[in-house]
Structure 1
């Protein structure tokens, strides 16, 4: 995905949220460098997976007015010893990212690594 497509998607968000999205995106792509990145404007997310179908989805970034959710599509089965995941979905859960420090948490990287491992086994 080109940076310009992501930048276009983020134009309607305030600078702080844009920076949180870009920081979150950098961490996601560092952990999953071969992920396919898709901007889904109607759903207001940037999705990452090993294919284009929902079954291939690893995670997604969902910007809001003052924070970003990092959504894990199969989080109910992921180990979460730090208790970062929130939500009550049957499968999906999210980590709320309010500051750049939140995305730098080792727990977030561990969740991303576990999500990738669960997709490749």
Structure 2
């Protein structure tokens, strides 16, 4: 995973590392897949077992939530218009500390 983060801006890479740590806290012992531009976390290999993705961009980190379109999001954290997946843009460490984010992620784990 460190090789994947080497190309990211230092602040964004740190935020991505922290996002990955949160994912593994919410989804213990995940199956981790590293692609060119993101890291996937799931309960089984492949798309069907996928729960979360983390992607680092220049100014933010995107936390993808598989099947997020079917989840309640009372805090309005998720973005996207896809039929199945949604994402949350993280711009600061404080975004990761929001209890609403953790609740959303826990809901995704239990639903998936």
* TM-score (ref. length: structure 1): 0.89
Give the alignment's Cα RMSD to 1 decimal.
Answer: 0.8
Following superposition of structure 1 onto structure 2, how do residues 62-77 of structure 1 map, counting pairs within 5 Å? 62-77=55-70
Unaligned ranges ≥5, structure 2: none
Alignment pair present for 1:61 and 2:49:
no
Count how many residue pairs are aligned between Structure 1 and Structure 2.
Answer: 112
In structure 1, the gaps of 5 or more residues are 1-5
Instruction: Report the equivalent of 2:34.
Output: 39
- 1:87 and 2:86 correspond: no
- After TM superposition, which residue ranges in structure 1, 4 or more long, deviate above 2 angstroms? none
- State how far apart, in whole Å, the 2-side matches of 1:69 and 1:13 are: 13
* From 91, 100, 110, the counterpart of 1:107: 100
Pairing partner for 1:25 from 8, 20, 23: 20
The structure 2 residue matched to 1:50, chosen from 43, 53, 61, is: 43
Matched residue SS, 2:84: coil
- Return the alpha-carbon distance in structure 1 between the equivalents of residues 53 and 59 of structure 2: 17
Secondary structure of the residue aligned to 1:51 is coil
Instruction: Say which SS state the counterpart of residue 30 (structure 1) adopts.
Output: helix
Tell me whether 1:12 sits opposite 2:7 in the alignment: yes
